[in-house]
Amino acid sequence: MQKEEYQVVGKPVERTDGRVKATGKARYAGDLIAPGMLYGKILRSPVAHAKILNIDTSEAKKLPGVIAVITGKDFPGIPFGTRPDTRDQTPMPITKVHHFGEGVAAVAALDEDTAEEALDLIRVEYEELPVVLTAEDALRPDAPLVNEFCSSNIAYTSDFRFGDPEAGFKEADYIREEKFSSQRVAVGFIEPHACLAEVDATGRVLLQGSKQSPYPTWRHMCRALDLPLSKMRLVTPFVGGAFSGKHDPFDVDFAAVKLAQITNRPVKIVLNYDEVLAGYRQRNAMNAVLKMGVKKNGRITALKAECILEGGPIAGIGPFNIYFFGAWLNLPYKVPAVEYHGKLVYSNRAPCGTVRGQEIVLAQYSVDSLLGIVAEDLGIDQVEIRALNAITSNYTTANGVVVDACGLSECIEKSAATIAWKESRKSRPKGRGIGFSCASHPSGVRLGGHFGSSVLLKLQEDGKVMLTHGGTEIGQGANTVFCQMAAEILGIPFEDVIQGPSDSDTAILDSGMFSDRCTYWDGNATIAAANDLKRQLAELAAKKLQAKPEDLEFKNSRVYAKDKPEKSISILDPVRTAYYDNGTPLYGKGYWAATDIDLVNWKTGSGNLAHGIDFIATAVEMDVDLKTGQASLRKGVSGDDAGQPIHPVMLEGQVNGGSAHMTGHALLEECLYDERGRMLNYSWRDYKQPTALDTPEYVVDHIHTHDPYGPFGAKGAGEASSCSTIAAIANGIYDAVGVRITDLPITPEKIIREMKKKEGK
């Protein structure tokens, strides 16, 4: 199909959830009410690392209005984790607490005030243990062990070797090594964790929670609660953002279910944001050393990296993070040889998951900063060195990732032109700078054999299509693009496709919403489902049109015999035949999984991990105040190759959103801890996320490519810009004031300190 032929795809249709959210009518988990509902609250540890000697709940239980109190001991004691070899957590702690703010007991009461009051009556005896705060602490030979399921503080390792790194460095004319570090950052969704749990007369659990990836929640919860999968149903209401902070089940979810099981009443728990900032998912802190070898002209010959991620007391999805860092040394530039040693370590800070872009963000920040340094050292133009090394179409990376369609060169060219790079080299005000960075991101990796996506379409007798899928609308616009795709294939208006509920009883849950996979994987499943439905309609219509089913075309809600446009019937015609004459339902089923790519080896990094590698080149222009060190971003420009844009306006929103999000990581945000592991800035007053006024004017140039495997040629889009933004800002600050800050966040104080050092003060 040619691009011009699309009726719905590529058009900025109204989001399926736009009106209901904008008018405040969308119901989130915190809005839900069930008859007889109780309110739950969680008691949290004031210390970061301690043995739990005793928890006395007797006084709390006596408080009028309190219906139940639980602790970790009320759960079956079965550990769970992301991988079979990393099952290192229980629903609530039993023998020890691992981080400040960890939930140690939970109460269900008739109202919230009583529940809170009951928390004050629970007596916990702790025996404090020395804390492990940093990667350095964790790796000390005499370091206390953080996780009781693991006999070491090393939670996971990856060691890669691709090509011939020694030969690559030997061949290099110039080698540069540099340290980079990145701080702990919070995830930053709007809606705090919340859920409502109910248990029916047969003991079947219904959990309605603010979850990003119901599938891992379902699997982990059933395991740790010792429930068969069929005994738990997950319905996902509107979700107020997730950004990788809501994949797995938390004590919130476990406690609500356990309290509902014990009390036989629905239990709702809604956290406040202090709790979320202090005790839930953050991005890993990173310490990395990168070494890059280049030829005189700037062509990369080899890259070596050591990276340690400090990820809190659980492995969580950390093994993927540590793999991703290594994998993304191979992209978006052509690097013939790569050596990588990665370690994920436990600590007594808040547990990590990741944040938008996963740890690809950190890899791309480090690689592109180093490339910027090398270009500066060798006097090579920043745009030229990126264009020279950029990956091109039909390229296989050193670690075996096959890149099909790649528009990175055009992305670079376009972003340089839009930001007026060449002109800026002739003259610019003092303190003004422009920084570049490129990045790429997969369109959904295949982390396990069970990864797959499925879509069910129900064509009703009125000709409207009800679409249900196993993904989750978390604000990224998934529901909208699937409705667009189904409408496109069936030749009906976008409005005729209705988004169904997100319910594990009707949908086969998708592996989860991460790594830009939803549009791509579930999109392909949508196309398959729509084609399935179309085939059934064609059979019915063919008889009436006296044509072969394969010769029929669906357009404008009509079915045409190909090449005979005068011969057509309304799409309602075969629908009515099915329902009113034959008594047969019309279901379209579709599924998709990238089974032709590899299940990568996380330890060695080998394997082709994904289709649809998307690319981006970002340029950020800024002014740095020479006296205060404050950077004000003026303009952020991205040339973005997401294949065929399905919804150009939402795509732009994704690109700009990722950029705005990482502006905080680059310049402002940092989770601060005291020496005893207590977080210090767990409020929105003290934890600085960027506001709208901190973000620049954004321009997105869509570079259309056609991905051979993607739905309508589309690739994923939500995370590439988060991978390109930080280095662009770091490189821009260097361009503006000539100082290079390699430990994030780049604060005004650090800039001033380095500027003074440079001036010899």
User: Contact residues for another protein (CB under 8 A)?
Assistant: 44, 46, 101, 112-113, 116, 272-275, 278, 627-628, 630, 632, 668, 672, 680-683, 685-686, 688, 690-694, 747-749, 752
Task: Count Cβ atoms below 10 Å from residue 174 Cβ, excluding itself.
Answer: 14
Termini Cα distance of the chain: 64
Burial class from Cβ neighbours inside 10 Å (0-12, 13-18, 19+) for residue 226 reads exposed
Smaller CB separation from another protein, 154 or 668: 668
Is the Cβ–Cβ distance between 15 and 652 less than 8 Å?
A: no
> CA-CA distances (angstroms) from residue 433 to 378, 622, 734?
19, 5, 7
Report the nearest approach of another protein to the CB of residue 324 (Å): 29
Evaluate the omega torsion of the peptide bond into residue 76 and state whether it is cis, within 30 degrees of 0.
no
At residue 67, what are phi and psi to the nearest 5 degrees?
-105, -35
Query: In this structure, which amino acid lies at residue 733?
Result: I
Which token pair is 8? 């719905």
Smaller CB separation from another protein, 201 or 693: 693
Report the nearest approach of another protein to the CB of residue 632 (Å): 8
Closest CA to 346 of 321, 313, 318, 319: 313
Quote the CA–CA distance of 371 and 294 in Å, as a whole number. Answer: 9
Query: In this structure, which amino acid lies at residue 739?
Result: V
Smaller CB separation from another protein, 430 or 685: 685
Is the Cβ–Cβ distance between 97 and 45 less than 8 Å?
A: yes
Report the nearest approach of another protein to the CB of residue 49 (Å): 16
Which token pair is 259? 């309290």
Burial class from Cβ neighbours inside 10 Å (0-12, 13-18, 19+) for residue 520 reads buried
Report the nearest approach of another protein to the CB of residue 657 (Å): 17
Strands (E), 496-580: 497-499, 552-555, 558-561, 564-570
Report the nearest approach of another protein to the CB of residue 672 (Å): 6
Closest CA to 281 of 317, 229, 230: 317
Which token pair is 562? 């190909």
CA trace torsion 81, 450, 506, 10 (10° rounding): 110
469, β-bridge pairs: 455
Is the Cβ–Cβ distance between 350 and 334 less than 8 Å?
A: no
Report the nearest approach of another protein to the CB of residue 687 (Å): 10
Report the nearest approach of another protein to the CB of residue 735 (Å): 21
Question: Kind and range of the H or E element at 651?
Answer: helix 648-667
Give the angle 184-190-192 at the CA atoms, nearest 5°. 80
Evaluate the omega torsion of the peptide bond into residue 332 and state whether it is cis, within 30 degrees of 0.
yes
Smaller CB separation from another protein, 366 or 747: 747
Report the nearest approach of another protein to the CB of residue 690 (Å): 6
Burial class from Cβ neighbours inside 10 Å (0-12, 13-18, 19+) for residue 54 reads exposed
Smaller CB separation from another protein, 44 or 469: 44
Quote the CA–CA distance of 270 and 186 in Å, as a whole number. Answer: 18
Report the nearest approach of another protein to the CB of residue 119 (Å): 9
Report the nearest approach of another protein to the CB of residue 685 (Å): 7
Report the nearest approach of another protein to the CB of residue 675 (Å): 14
Report the nearest approach of another protein to the CB of residue 760 (Å): 17
Smaller CB separation from another protein, 584 or 628: 628
At residue 327, what are phi and psi to the nearest 5 degrees?
-60, -35
Report the nearest approach of another protein to the CB of residue 134 (Å): 18
At residue 92, what are phi and psi to the nearest 5 degrees?
-140, 150
Task: Count Cβ atoms below 10 Å from residue 680 Cβ, excluding itself.
Answer: 13
Report the nearest approach of another protein to the CB of residue 674 (Å): 10
Smaller CB separation from another protein, 556 or 628: 628
Query: In this structure, which amino acid lies at residue 13?
Result: V
Look-up: residue for tokens 């399921």?
A: 149
SS3 category, 248? coil
SS3 category, 640? strand
Is the Cβ–Cβ distance between 456 and 587 less than 8 Å?
A: yes
> CA-CA distances (angstroms) from residue 555 to 121, 491, 542, 559?
67, 4, 15, 6
Report the nearest approach of another protein to the CB of residue 41 (Å): 9
Smaller CB separation from another protein, 426 or 761: 761
Smaller CB separation from another protein, 477 or 629: 629
Report the nearest approach of another protein to the CB of residue 47 (Å): 11
Quote the CA–CA distance of 236 and 238 in Å, as a whole number. Answer: 7
Smaller CB separation from another protein, 101 or 326: 101
Smaller CB separation from another protein, 394 or 632: 632
Smaller CB separation from another protein, 333 or 682: 682
Smaller CB separation from another protein, 115 or 315: 115
Q: For the chain, how big is the Rg over CA atoms in Å?
A: 27
Query: In this structure, which amino acid lies at residue 454?
Result: S
Quote the CA–CA distance of 162 and 142 in Å, as a whole number. Answer: 34
